[in-house]
Amino acid sequence: MKSKLLVLMTSLLFTFNIFAGVSVSPVQMFIENPNKQKSTTLTLESVDETEKRVFEVKVFKWTQNAQGENVLEPDNNIIINPKNFILQPNKRQAIRVGFTPSIAATLNTKTEEAWRIVIDEITPIGNQTMVKFLVNFNLPVFVGKKDDVKVNFEVQNNKLVLNNLANSHVQVTKLKILDEQKKVVFSSETMAYVLAKQKMFYDLDNVDLTNVKKYNVVLETNNSKKAIEMKLFS
């Protein structure tokens, strides 16, 4: 019996630089002032491939709700060129991402806004017995001025809450809680984005923080040259 295995590789938060013979660069895009810089470019490259691949590009407005969950909604405000293309073996394809002048003029760059560019490989038509890995890249686009890291922490309902006070996102790479003896009582290496003025929640499970004022939080981000350590308050 003929069969076909299709595997869709998708991540809403992060993507690998290279997967299944296709690389993408950069993995994050920034437009600080869309009135001056109306576009940026990313590149998809076929690496040591023998077959062509067909791709489709979609755009989603990216926000986060009160629970810290990612919300993606289709958005036509960002212009993509091309939206559909064939990536030939061992070739490159540039994709331009940007705004029309009229849309750029409406953006409030004081608080960073975010989008997601999703590049999907289209299901191949042909040999029904083949095993095929479909490539999917999910890339963030940040529009607005980059702010310094400004966060604080609190504990609510046995959850550690990271409050992003900045006007731009924070990309958390590591986090841990230390007691007065500098012993680690909780740690997380989950990489995640916290968008401007949003929150992230960590389940403390069985961690008993009897007096939260006695604990410190150590935070590492992709922009920090060294870890940020601060008091944990209730």
Q: Where are the domains of the chain?
A: 7-143, 151-231
Average pLDDT over residues 22-49: 92
| Of 194 and 38, more confident | 194
Task: Please report where in the chains the tokens 């984005």 appear, as a residue.
Answer: 193
Amino acid at 228: I
In eight-state DSSP terms, residue 208 is -
Q: What is the pLDDT of residue 19?
A: 55
The yes or no reply on domain 151-231 and CATH 2.60.40.3970 is: yes
Q: What is the predicted pLDDT for the residue at 169?
A: 97
Cα 62–Cα 66–Cα 71 angle in degrees, nearest 5: 25
Angle at alpha carbon of residue 166, lines to 164 and 190, rounded to 5°: 40
Element (H, E) at 101: helix 101-104
Burial class, 84, CB count within 10 angstroms (exposed 0-12 / middle 13-18 / buried 19+):
exposed
Q: How far apart (Å, rounded) are the C-alpha atoms in residues 100 and 95?
A: 16
Q: How confident is the model at residue 233 (pLDDT cuts 50, 70, 90)?
A: confident
* pLDDT tens figures, 130-144: 556 788 999 999 999
Instruction: Indicate the pLDDT class of residue 10, thresholds 50, 70 and 90.
Output: very low
The answer to whether residues 101 and 44 touch, using CB atoms and an 8 Å cutoff, is no
The reported pLDDT for the residue numbered 35 is 87
How far are the Cα atoms of 184, 195, 223, 229 from residue 141, in angstroms, in the given order?
A: 34, 12, 16, 28
At 224, the amino acid letter reads: S
Q: Is the pLDDT of residue 49 over 90?
A: no
Which pLDDT does position 80 carry in this prediction? 96
Of 174, 169, 177, which Cα lies nearest the Cα of 150? 169
Average pLDDT over residues 157-178: 95
For residue 5, pLDDT over 60 is answered with: no
Taking 70 as the threshold, does the pLDDT of residue 231 lie above it? yes
7-143 and 151-231 in the same fold: yes
Residue 84, both tokens: 């559909």
Say if residues 155 and 209 touch (Cβ distance below 8 Å).
Answer: yes
CB 134 within 8 A of CB 9: yes
DSSP H/E element including 131 = strand 131-134
Pick from 164, 226, 153, 147: nearest CA to 186: 153
For the entire predicted model, the pTM comes to: 0.85
- Name the token pair of 8: 């869709």
Please give the biggest Cα pair distance in the chain: 65
Q: What type of residue is 225?
A: K
What is the CATH T-level fold of the domain 7-143, as seen in this structure? Immunoglobulin-like (2.60.40)
The DSSP call for residue 64 is E
Q: What is the mean pLDDT of the chain?
A: 87
